[in-house]
Chain A
């Protein structure tokens, strides 16, 4: 039982390049989330998926797209990376029932030059 896994762990992109961050959970959770973490700021929600087949924007969705491939996987895509997207990205999942506890992955540290 690995919980929430994310790949890659680290990534360096040039401005304008694209990439997809992968996230998978093996806890049979319904809801999944993508956050970014910047120095001196709290986690900010980019997109979330309440259940398989649905996705919705969070607080800071501009420049990102997501895909809820199946119940296990939720990917985040940067179509044209910008330096402002340099951040640490966390994926999280939640059962969707009663508890508000979200389980976080280890994060992807992305640098855009």
Chain B
């Protein structure tokens, strides 16, 4: 099946630091979504991106839809302890009337040290 790669797989940072992670694919996507999953919970949508080059912010989070349409980036500024969790990207390919064609990445696990 379609593969999405996320980098890094995991990261440990100090509270207050900025965080950068990315999601890449060998295929073109029409939509990119970024989700966060807390331990024992389901993923929660953070940001949705709908066109190449789009840059969207949600508080301290900023995500970009790559120009090539094969990648997306998520940045978190001034990290805080509640940023801990797993961040997933998801890409939508082709015709998709019912949300059934999303491919999810394996996730980046973020740990924040006080």
Q: Do A and B bind each other?
A: yes
List, in ascending order, chain A residues with CB within 8 A of B97's CB: 50
Are A105 and B106 touching (Cβ within 8 A)? no
Known A-B contacts A40-B106, A45-B102; the reply to A102 vs B41 at CB < 8 A is no
Does residue A106 face the partner (Cβ distance < 8 Å to B)? Answer: yes
Residues in A56-113 with C-beta less than 8 Å from chain B = 56, 58-59, 90, 92, 94, 96, 99-107
List, in ascending order, chain B residues with CB within 8 A of A106's CB: 40-42
Are B42 and A90 touching (Cβ within 8 A)? yes
A44 to B90, CA, bound (A): 11
Q: How large is the interface on A (under 10, 10 to 19, 20 to 34, 35 or more residues)?
A: 20 to 34
List, in ascending order, chain A residues with CB within 8 A of B66's CB: none
List, in ascending order, chain B residues with CB within 8 A of A58's CB: 100
List, in ascending order, chain B residues with CB within 8 A of A105's CB: 42
Q: Tell me how far the C-beta of B100 lies from the nearest C-beta in chain A, rounded to whole angstroms.
A: 5
Residue of A nearest to B4 (CB): A42
List, in ascending order, chain A residues with CB within 8 A of B70's CB: none
Q: Tell me how far the C-beta of A84 lies from the nearest C-beta in chain B, rounded to whole angstroms.
A: 16
Are A59 and B1 touching (Cβ within 8 A)? yes
Residue of B nearest to A57 (CB): B100
Are A33 and B99 touching (Cβ within 8 A)? yes
A94 to B33, CA, bound (A): 14
A48 to B97, CA, bound (A): 12
Are B104 and A101 touching (Cβ within 8 A)? no
Q: Tell me how far the C-beta of A80 lies from the nearest C-beta in chain B, rounded to whole angstroms.
A: 24
Are B106 and A42 touching (Cβ within 8 A)? yes
Are B42 and A92 touching (Cβ within 8 A)? yes
Residue of B nearest to A91 (CB): B42
Known A-B contacts A4-B42, A43-B43, A59-B1; the reply to A102 vs B99 at CB < 8 A is yes
Residues in A20-71 with C-beta less than 8 Å from chain B = 31, 33, 35, 40-45, 48, 50, 56, 58-59
- Interface set of A (CB-CB < 8 Å, partner B): 4, 31, 33, 35, 40-45, 48, 50, 56, 58-59, 90, 92, 94, 96, 99-107
11 sample A-B contacts, Cβ–Cβ < 8 Å, listed by A number = A42-B4, A42-B88, A42-B90, A44-B1, A50-B97, A50-B100, A92-B42, A94-B99, A102-B102, A106-B41, A106-B42
